[in-house]
Structure 1
């Protein structure tokens, strides 16, 4: 099955729940950012409010990315697995996705505190952690560490992985933010906000699908040589 046929199946399977979660997460982030800006301009209650909204923002940045990735990976894995429902997929993988993602963030932070560039590279190296957790039989069998497995795959295809991350996580979002950031708030511009969220959802599906194909091809290549 070619990429476009697979992508269409993935799109049909999870676009609506993924879109709903993107709308929710995007507007929560926008709301918290507005509250943070208001708190920073308030000299009377700045300390308490900034800590409160800052904590909620960190919590949101942990909760939603893993949920979004898990939905996309459920659809991709269901193309050639027996996993039938999202709930089954979450029961099997979601807890470990959070654990390994927090480990990856901690490792990235350690390197970032040393130097910025090594921290960025470590982030790229560990970008495949969700794929290892959800799609690696060796991980399920306890034969590979998620962080090391991710780094090994990225090092073999580092230029392609880096290019995809720059394009879909930096370049395109940067352009969209620069041009359309004023239309993100659903309570102010509902139609524009929903259209932008739909675009974000599709870009997430495409980028995750491309990375999944890279991961899958590298796993198959490794298995063929074992």
Structure 2
């Protein structure tokens, strides 16, 4: 099955629930950021408001990315195994995804405090941690560490993975933000906001699909030599 046929199947299976999550996370971020900016502009000082909305902004930035990538990986894994539905898949993997992601973020932060470039490299090395948690039988059996395995795969394909992350998670989002950021608020421009969220959803699906294929090929090659 070629990439576009696979991507169409993934699109049909997960687009609408993923789209709903993207709409929720995007507008929640916009809402929290607006309140933080207003609180910072308050001449009388609004430290409590900044801390309150800042806390939820940090919480949102932790919860939603893992949940979004988990939904994408559910649809991609379903290409090979149709036994689980989304709820079962998330119950099985989501908690462990958060644990391993927090481990990865903690190590990345430690390296970033020392030097920026080593911190960025660690971020890149751990970018496939959710793929290991959801798509590796050796991880399920406790035979490999998610962070180490992610780093091994990235070390072999770092150019491709860096290019994918740069294109889909930095360059295109920056261009879209520069041109259309004023249309993000769903309570002000609902049609434009939903269209931008649909674009975000599709870009997330495509980028995750490409990374998933790289990871699955590496797993097959590794298993063939074990």
Q: Is the 8 A contact 1:83 1:89 kept in 2?
A: no
Alignment of 1:93-132 (within 5 A): 93-132=93-132
Alignment match, 2:51: 51
In structure 2, how many angstroms separate the alpha carbons of the residues matched to 1:17 and 1:122? 31
- Give every structure 1 segment of 4 or more consecutive aligned residues whose post-TM-superposition deviation is greater than 6 Å: none
User: How far 1:44 sits from its partner (Å)?
Assistant: 2.4
Residue matched to 2:223? 223
Matched, 1:143 2:143: yes
The Cα of 1:176 is off from its aligned counterpart by: 0.4
Aligned residue for 1:160? 160
Distance 1:83 1:34 in 2: 43
Given that residues 168 and 203 in structure 1 are in contact (C-alpha distance below 8 angstroms), is that contact kept between their aligned partners in structure 2? yes
Partner of 1:35: 35
Distance in 2 of aligned mates of 1:154 and 1:46: 44
* Residue in 2 that maps onto 1:172: 172
Structure 1, unaligned runs of 5 or more: none
> Distance in 2 between the 1:114 and 1:178 partners?
31
Once residues 97 and 44 of structure 2 are traced to their aligned partners in structure 1, the CA distance between those partners, rounded to angstroms, is 40
- For residues 163 and 120 of structure 1, the distance between their equivalents in structure 2, rounded to whole angstroms, comes to 14
Other-structure match for 1:212: 212
Which shifted more, 152-161 or 84-93? 84-93
CA apart distance, 1:217: 0.4
TM-fit CA distance, 1:91: 1.4
How many Å apart are 1:7 and its aligned residue? 0.2
Cα drift, residue 46 of structure 1: 2.2
What whole-Å deviation, never above 9, does each CA across 1:98-155 have from its counterpart, x for those lacking one? Answer: 1011111101100100011111111000000000000000100001000001000000
* Deviation per residue, 1:62-119 (Å, 9 max, x gap): 1110110111000000100143310110111010001011111101100100011111
Unaligned runs of 5+ in 2: none
**1:223 to partner: Cα distance:** 1.0
Q: What is the aligned partner in structure 2 of residue 77 from structure 1?
A: 77
Aligned length: 226
In structure 2, distance between residues paired with 1:126 and 1:83: 28
Q: Counterparts of 1:105 and 1:83 in 2: how far apart (Å)?
A: 32
- Residues 42, 149 of structure 1: alpha-carbon distance in 2 compared, 3 angstrom cutoff: same
Report the counterpart of residue 68 of structure 2 in structure 1: 68
Cα RMSD (Å) of the superposition?
Answer: 0.7
